[in-house]
């Protein structure tokens, strides 16, 4: 997948996330935070499990069709041998392209001969997938739980800024832990976006309170999650990887809800927010993130995610008629400028590759 397509898909999920700040803030005014998270991520888990089931059925039908084609090969091969004493073997089976049955037979032999080795390999792959998904899911649970509890006492704008600090933490983590130094355009983009987040979201006087600490821990959690998705999405089935993450968050939230929020009450007016966030802002976004983030760097992905408060403000204007102040407009422009600046190096790289391709063809 070209990086520009991956970036556009990451921008799409950022837009979806931007619509959820107001929804979540309103929902947790009526429902306890861990109860909300448990139901939201349960809905997301069910959606992805349904998708995995549908995908399995489609793949099974495809495999059945291929098996039927192979049986047809063998039947026609038998007719050819009996009818022409094997004379038709060299030219292929009547009614089928030359080589079709030979390829199928070789594939069957290879599959049979390598069954044991494949089973052992599949077992290792499954263990690695489960391990990676559980670890990544725990960081996602940590991020969402601290954010949702923090939103009980922290203003949405301030929470958006502190959460957005993950745009700084991801490049730092990449450099220190993964030895991946961000490109100069990404570094400049991060600086512009961070300044923009501050200008857009912060108000004076700025005081550090308990909720702020929780939201900062949330930023650390999201930064760790972005890094882990970048590492583990390269070699794992993205749909299974995403589904296990959501189940981990749902299970962790349910345990916390049962311990801290009994009796569990789900007011009727919160189901709209639960349904939208569960399907669009959880199942769809985590699946897209797990699928496409491997086509770009973690730092670049974090920079795209930093536009979330811009789209949150846009959604507030469309849905609630809330206008951006001049200060907030300047901050939004700086964030978008940071995203555009970060695209300079990838754009130059694509231009150079195209020029080399044209020169090679000439």
| pLDDT 10s digits, 154-182 | 776 677 778 878 888 888 888 888 787 77
pLDDT of 285 strictly over 80: yes
Rounded to 10 degrees, the C-alpha dihedral 197/198/200/205 comes to: 150
Percent share of the chain, pLDDT over 90:
29
Quote the radius of gyration of the chain (alpha carbons, Å).
26
pLDDT of 108 strictly over 80: no
pLDDT of 261 strictly over 80: yes
CA angle 39, 307, 37 (to 5 degrees): 10
Tokens of 316: 């507030």
pLDDT of 341 strictly over 90: no
- Global pTM exceeds 0.85: no
Mean pLDDT of all residues belonging to the chain = 80
> What number is the average pLDDT over the span 342-353?
69
CB atoms within 10 A of CB 238: 20
Confidence of residue 96 (pLDDT cuts 50, 70, 90): very low
| pLDDT 10s digits, 8-40 | 999 999 999 888 877 887 888 888 989 999 999
| pLDDT 10s digits, 142-156 | 998 998 888 788 776
Confidence of residue 362 (pLDDT cuts 50, 70, 90): low
In this predicted structure, what is the pLDDT of residue 104? 47
What count of residues does the chain have? 362
pLDDT of 3 strictly over 50: yes
Percent share of the chain, pLDDT over 70:
77
Annotated domain spans of the chain:
3-59+122-356
> What number is the average pLDDT over the span 267-282?
93
CB atoms within 10 A of CB 258: 14
pLDDT of 69 strictly over 80: no
In this predicted structure, what is the pLDDT of residue 332? 79
Report the C-alpha gap between 176 and 329 in whole angstroms. 34
Tokens of 121: 């390999």
């Amino acid at each position: 997948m070209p990086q520009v397509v991956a970036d556009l898909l990451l921008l799409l999920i950022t837009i979806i996330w931007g619509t959820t700040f107001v929804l979540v803030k309103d929902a947790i005014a009526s429902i306890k935070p861990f109860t909300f998270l448990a139901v939201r991520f349960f809905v997301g888990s069910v959606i992805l499990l349904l998708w995995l089931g549908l995908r399995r059925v489609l793949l099974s039908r495809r495999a059945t069709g291929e098996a039927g084609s192979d049986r047809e090969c063998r039947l026609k091969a038998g007719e050819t041998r009996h009818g022409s004493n094997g004379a038709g073997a060299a030219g292929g089976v009547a009614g089928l392209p030359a080589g079709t049955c030979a390829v199928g037979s070789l594939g069957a032999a290879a599959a049979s001969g390598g069954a044991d080795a494949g089973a052992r390999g599949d077992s290792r792959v499954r263990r690695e997938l489960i391990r990676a998904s559980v670890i990544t899911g725990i960081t996602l649970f940590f991020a969402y739980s601290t954010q949702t509890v923090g939103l009980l006492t922290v203003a949405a704008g301030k929470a958006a800024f502190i959460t957005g600090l993950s745009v700084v933490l991801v490049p730092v983590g990449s450099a220190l832990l993964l030895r991946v130094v961000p490109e100069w355009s990404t570094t400049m983009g991060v600086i512009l976006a961070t300044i923009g987040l501050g200008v857009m979201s912060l108000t004076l006087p700025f005081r550090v309170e308990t909720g702020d600490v929780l939201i900062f821990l949330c930023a650390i959690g999201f930064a760790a999650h972005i890094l882990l998705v970048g590492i583990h999405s390269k070699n794992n089935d993205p749909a299974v990887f995403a589904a296990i993450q959501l189940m981990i968050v749902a299970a962790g939230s349910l345990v916390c809800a049962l311990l801290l929020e009994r009796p569990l009450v789900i007011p009727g007016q919160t189901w709209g927010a639960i349904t939208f966030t569960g399907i669009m802002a959880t199942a769809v976004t985590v699946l897209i993130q797990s699928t496409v983030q491997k086509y770009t760097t973690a730092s670049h992905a974090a920079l795209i995610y930093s536009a979330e408060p811009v789209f949150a403000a846009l959604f507030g204007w469309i849905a609630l008629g809330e206008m951006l102040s001049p200060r907030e407009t300047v901050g939004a422009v700086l964030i978008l400028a940071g995203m555009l600046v970060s695209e300079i190096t990838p754009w130059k790289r694509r231009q150079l590759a195209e020029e080399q391709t044209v020169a090679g063809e000439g």
